[in-house]
Structure formats: structure tokens, C-alpha cells
Amino acid sequence: MNKSIAGYDPLERVLFSREAIALRVAAMARAIQADAEAAGAGEITVIAVADGGLMFASDLIRELRMSVRFVSVKVSAYGDGMTPRDEAVVTGAPECIRDEYTLVVEDILDSGVTLDSLCRVLRAGAPSALRTAVLLDKPTGRRREFVADYTGFVCPDAFVVGYGLDLAGRYRNLPDIGVLRRALQPS
């Protein structure tokens, strides 16, 4: 595995550049804020799905020019590898989101298990609204019907890393999103 810092370049192919991501995130924030204001919300409760959604959420909330309450939850649907599981376990859901205008922020919508499970849990808390924002949507992976309210980009049917997306905890720090070099992919 190439872990050297000099010449560190684990991506075979960049699919979404840092510049494209920044532009899209800003546009998403404008749409999210406009909808929240139109709904009469004075504040958005942003619930980021850790760990992958933290980078996206961090950039997104800094584009919002309104009051934000920020919390994160853990939802484990994937183990360390690339094979999905069928159920997701939610930990750290906020105690109270009753009557709060709530936005869930996640890195990627793939099978739908993570967001579907999380939204079921959160809906029980009776927020005034429950919206979802995903940076990437990989429609080919869907095993549960789920439509996000805000989508950054449609992602091809490939395993991608970077900007929060990981393989066993690695590559989240890459500023661009892309496909790993073959030598770095698990065999």
C-alpha cells in the first residue's frame, strides 16, 4: 500500500474535483436555506452522519447564513469493507428534535439502508420537517426506495473515496472524489 506522503496520489481517476464540489455545495446550501426560510424556519437542525458526512456537512453549514444547530450521529450499515449489510444501527441520535426544521447530511446514498433507517428513527422525534441532503447519489446501488431532497451529484456504479468517503477509514482526507488505483483496492 502506498502510504508515502511525497507524491501521495491514490486516485486512479477523479470523478468530482474539489472545485466542482465547492460550487455544488454552495448551491445546495442556497437551496436548503431558501426552502427553510420559505417554510418559516428560523433555524436548521443539521444532523450529520458520521464519519463520512462530516466533511460535506462542515462545508455545507458554513455556507448557511442562518442559525444552525449542529449534531452528528453514527449509523453503521457498512463494516470495514465494501459489502453492504441490510440493517443499520443508529447511535447518538439527538434527544429532542420536536418541532425543529431538521436536515440530515450524508456523504452518499447507495443502498438506501442508512438514510431510510435513520429517518425512521428521527421521524419518531416529531421534527417540523425532515429533509435529507446527500453529496452523491448512486442509484444503481438502491435496495430500499429512498429519494433525497437535495443531491450534489449522481455517482456512477463504482466504489469511490475522498471528501469523507472511505475504505476502512482511509482516504477521507482526499479533497477530490474518485476511484482508487487498482493496487489499493481490496482483492
Binding site for Mg ion (CB under 5 A): 52
167 SS3 class: strand
Residue 162 near ligand IMP by CB under 6 A: no
Q: Which of 21, 28, 108, 118 binds ligand IMP (CB under 6 A)?
A: 108
Alpha carbon distance 185, 176 (integer Å)? 17
Q: Which of 50, 63, 66, 84 binds ligand IMP (CB under 6 A)?
A: 84
Pairing relationship of beta strands 129-137 and 150-154 according to DSSP bridges = parallel
CA 98 to chain centre: 23
Residue 21 near ligand IMP by CB under 6 A: no
Residue 151 near ligand IMP by CB under 6 A: no
Question: Between 25 and 64, how does the x/- string for binding to ligand IMP read (CB under 6 A)?
Answer: ---------------------------x------------
Q: Which is nearer to Mg ion, 108 or 130 (CB)?
A: 108
Q: State whether the Cα torsion 81-83-84-85 is positive or negative.
A: negative
152: its cell numbers: 450534489
Q: Which of 25, 73, 135, 160 binds ligand IMP (CB under 6 A)?
A: 160
List CB contacts of 165: < 8 A, sequence separation 6 or more: 52, 107, 108, 136, 171, 172, 177
Active site residues: 110
